Amino acid sequence: MDICQVIAVVNQKGGVGKTTTCSNLGIGLAREGKRVLLVDGDPQASLTISLGQPQPDELPITLTDILNKVLDEKPLKPKEGILRHEEGVDLMPSSIVLSGLEVQLVNVMNREKVLKQYIDTMKREYDYILIDCMPSLGMLAINALTAARSVLIPVQAQYLPMKGLEQLLQTVGKVRRQLNPKLRIEGILLTMVDNRTNYAREISSLLRETYAGKLKVFSADIPHSVRAAETSAEGRSIYAHDSKGKVAEAYRILTKEVLDGEKQRCKRKAEKL
């Protein structure tokens, strides 16, 4: 049994809080004593920037270099290219050249499994590996879904982003059938929720009713907050920036839900043995 949990944070729509969720859940897990690697799978390098690397294109080694080594079947040095963040997580950074690699992957044998080959070499080092995916369902996102054990889907509390959720769930189903039979949905996370409006409350209720019994919808709704948006400019998490605020509390609850979910799955597996 894999001890390491690999979670892809995915939504083909941009601006739904994927990167914020990836960094704050990752740092939340590290605060609970877990060994965490965050992998920036987006050429825009938002995760890399938000974790204190404002010039990702100037970094000597990024995910592209590592995946090129995998493609060329060259050995990787231990923790090659991995950066340490002051809040206790490791980061495999990204840069704009990753977009070129996506084009290159189209002609590669086993092209959906290149990222998985890298992730599999890192599993012994970590309890959790979180992959921040680019806002598309292209080859890099498919690589992340093939490498992952589960999928966490941040969804903005609005009607149209919810419509896109169906397409994403179909893609996850396809990857499960064709490439990664163990892939499961970790849960759907409502983000940028403005609880002062009836509209946000209606969307929240609609989502929970639609997927009740079929998919987990996390109880932690992430509130809309200007302060949360400021954190990426500082290179620090919401815990370091505003530890007593509503957003930090919501991410603490999310972290606990992810950990509790894992405990329950382990318990069920043990009961079956």
Per-residue confidence in pLDDT tens, the chain, 273 aa = 458 999 999 998 888 889 999 999 999 999 999 999 999 999 999 999 999 999 999 999 999 999 999 999 999 999 999 999 999 999 999 999 999 998 888 888 889 999 999 999 999 999 999 999 999 889 999 999 999 999 999 998 776 666 778 889 999 999 999 999 999 999 999 998 887 888 888 888 888 888 878 899 999 899 988 777 677 677 889 999 889 999 999 999 999 999 999 988 888 888 887
The answer to whether the beta carbons of residues 3 and 129 sit under 8 Å apart is no
Give the residue extent of every domain in the chain.
5-272
- Count, residues in the chain: 273
Could you tell me if residue 73 is left (phi over 0), alpha (psi between -120 and 50 degrees) or otherwise beta? left
Q: Computed from CA positions of residues 93, 44, 30, 124, in that sequence, does the dihedral angle turn out positive or negative?
A: negative
Helix then strand count (H, E) for the chain reads 11, 7
Q: Could you tell me the pTM of the whole model? A: 0.94
**Cβ count within 10 A of residue 44:** 19
How wide is the angle at C-alpha 51 spanned by C-alphas 144 and 32, nearest 5°?
A: 80
Under DSSP, is residue 258 helix (H, G, I), strand (E, B) or coil?
Answer: helix
How wide is the angle at C-alpha 264 spanned by C-alphas 161 and 129, nearest 5°?
A: 60
Among the four given CATH numbers 3.40.50.300, 1.10.150.120, 3.40.50.150, 3.30.565.10, the one describing domain 5-272: 3.40.50.300
